[in-house]
Structure 1
């Protein structure tokens, strides 16, 4: 039986409510999953802090390297969800059994290729992690800290491959609109990670005492267990199981090349964004310890809110892929407004809390006795109340372009917005306008706003071209392999 997209109700307000509910169905579990994943790193950091200042410094250095490589690896397989969503939509709307089987084989081909790509990216990242552990000492870091960080990096490296396997299967389940198990598995992984961290660091229960490297062993084990749990869950799902083909060795080169071409700009975008925020933090640090502490505290608040945007971005991106696969251009056009409206509602509520109760917001991050840092952070929260909307909007814009398969365009726009607009503006506001740390954040706001506007404009133009007819980068079948 052929399925057709649901017709939204008439009336602008009723249409927005209808579209918001549809978007939230996918966005909410994804946002909660993102927040739970943040808790994994937080748990590691807390355990390191209990071990002392040197362990925290060494562990923090190792986690920065691991998270940078992990984030870029995740970017390599992120587009898989869009491709699966489009293929699944074609399967649902197919009029014949042969057409449905062809679309189903397309999904199986994508799963195989995504696991092959995850293995290659994870292996390359693991090698890079080990090499960086030996090279980071050349960057002027304390020798004792580097020596302590190196064994932790060696323990974290093997976990990158199962981490990206998990992400590949995650994109498959999300593309099929079956993400419910993700949150349960991620929450369980937080508990398992905390228990293994403590056990392997201190040698409790029957576990060996490994010290700081035990955190790396625990993280690698949790990534492997999370992948196995998600795979087992998908195998029990009658809709997912027939399409879950893990035989990565049967991937054809053309399929792998297509996913690599889509994933590489996403990985570069993620890496560019992380680098931009790192450089901005360094600029803030030039104004002293209190300014850097305030920047770190407020950035942590915004980072938590950003996880909501990540959920909205992924949900909107998949909605665009499905809508275009079904020829529903109007639905793809509406999702931009819906996602931005949802982001505005969330950031308005959070922004009001920033303005009305800054002490409550900052208490988990700053000691109230640190008067200078708290005063600077209170000023930064006023900027953050506006900034976080544009941060959400640019993240949604990247996702919308991913739905158009325009991953290179998203990367190019973010280079302009981050580095050619945001960074110079941060320097000018801070130094030339003599606004100090607040100027840094005004420059950050300027860069994110410019990025958001450019991304959303590019999406509107790309969608208009798509409505007029096929254009380069439009969705196409990736079935280039044939099973015997």
Structure 2
């Protein structure tokens, strides 16, 4: 394949930028909730900060599968939009509603197991009860959490992300205000620390979902007011679950690796866990940008395949990789140059600050690999390829990253920094394997998804 054929056109780059920018803002806003929670809890105590991080780890460790399942909407709706197939779009949206309810109920039931699971993982005893309470108070916000994700995936395919941006902005304001009220006990309310943070987040998720639904109703109304009987048929609904489940398992493989790293860090004590959470929070914040570019790539690749233009899908893939990986390279430089200044944003505790400052430069190294793997996997998702990427992710993190990290941390007595080097190795393997899969998949003709038959 000639390199000139892979060069994106000016209009394709403009389209990518227009779609990616608001998605990036949404991702940063979503991550901003966790950032604000961590900063405000860090002002209470290191125990509250660690409990919030551990509770958040359990939350996303379970919810991540549901998020991935709902990402089946990416190729289904995006390819339907590209093909201008209104029936496929409507059935996809309606099945997304059904899947949202099913996923929310299933995840909420698993949240009831938080305390025994965290105790079984040998987390610090002073942290476990608070972390479990954080998870339990998250249950009231699960339906709007998944509804927001379903609406977001749908609207991205239509290039209409404005309502999602407004939902995140309003949700962040509400979350920060309620944190101030409920964490610290202002306006006559009881100071509830990490539990107050969880309650604030659950309420803000309802606000976010409602703002998005109201703002997007003109776009969604044709697809929700006339219900297609085929939308409830078990066979195509099950096919859509099967399309999304590997994405959920792929996310679980990665999140599980980061989560197990958090668990092993917890074995080293509360201070080490808090320092780990600071570095991880910073890395997660920068990750929101390539993740937004990745979502735009999935949509644009899906549009191109829907209209039968595989050549355009290749150019879209290249554009996404250049933009997303380029940004992460800049972040790596910043992390390497000013780790102390970044760590100081979170904690005044000297030991916590010192450990975070040693981990942030390691995060600088894996930034580039992290951006490459998430964008490559999303390109494949837009093409309807979800099973092989899930296998590649599993191998990268669980055959490379976790064993190597544990070896360096415990066998060679390098502690938390050894675990982080293991994560770096896992991300590097995922980046190489997923990028290779993109080349193979888009190097041939790609057929449009059909769930009805």
TM tier, smaller: 0.7 to 0.9
**Alignment check: 8 A CA contact 1:78 1:171 kept:** yes
**Alignment check: 8 A CA contact 1:20 1:342 kept:** no
Aligned with 2:261 (options 257, 271, 280): 280
| Cα separation, 2, equivalents of 1:309 and 1:333 | 18
Trace 1:254-333 onto structure 2 (pairs within 5 A): 254-281=235-262, 295-333=276-314
Change (3 A) 1:147 1:438: closer
| Cα separation, 1, equivalents of 2:414 and 2:51 | 33
* Structure 1 spans left out of the alignment, 5+ residues: 1-9, 92-102
- Determine whether 1:20 maps to 2:13: yes
Please identify, of 167-176 and 140-149, the stretch whose mean Cα deviation from structure 2 is larger.
140-149
CA drift of 1:439 comes to 4.9
Q: Say which SS state the counterpart of residue 265 (structure 1) adopts.
A: helix
**Alignment check: 8 A CA contact 1:87 1:107 kept:** yes
| Cα separation, 1, equivalents of 2:182 and 2:103 | 28
| Cα separation, 1, equivalents of 2:448 and 2:375 | 19
* Larger RCO, structures 1/2 (Cα 8 Å, 6+ apart): 2
Change (3 A) 1:44 1:439: closer
| Structure 2 partner of 1:44 | 37
CA drift of 1:191 comes to 0.7
Change (3 A) 1:145 1:298: closer
| Cα separation, 1, equivalents of 2:61 and 2:307 | 36
Q: Say which SS state the counterpart of residue 291 (structure 2) adopts.
A: helix
Trace 1:49-448 onto structure 2 (pairs within 5 A): 49-52=42-45, 55-91=48-84, 103-133=85-115, 135-141=117-123, 145-200=127-182, 209=190, 211=192, 213-237=195-219, 240-245=220-225, 251-281=232-262, 295-365=276-346, 370=351, 373=354, 377-378=357-358, 380-428=359-407, 439-448=418-427
Change (3 A) 1:285 1:187: same
**Alignment check: 8 A CA contact 1:34 1:311 kept:** yes
Q: Say which SS state the counterpart of residue 113 (structure 2) adopts.
A: helix
Q: Say which SS state the counterpart of residue 475 (structure 1) adopts.
A: coil
Q: Highest CA radius of gyration, 1 or 2?
A: 1
Measured against aligned partners, the alpha-carbon deviations of 1:403-432 in whole angstroms (never above 9, x if no partner) come to 121111111000111111222333455567
User: How many residues are treated as equivalent by the alignment?
Assistant: 449
**Alignment check: 8 A CA contact 1:234 1:244 kept:** no
Cα RMSD, aligned residues only: 3.4
**Alignment check: 8 A CA contact 2:53 2:277 kept:** no
Change (3 A) 1:455 1:199: same
Q: Say which SS state the counterpart of residue 336 (structure 2) adopts.
A: helix
Measured against aligned partners, the alpha-carbon deviations of 1:290-342 in whole angstroms (never above 9, x if no partner) come to 87665444333322211111101111111111111111111111222212211
Change (3 A) 1:248 1:196: farther
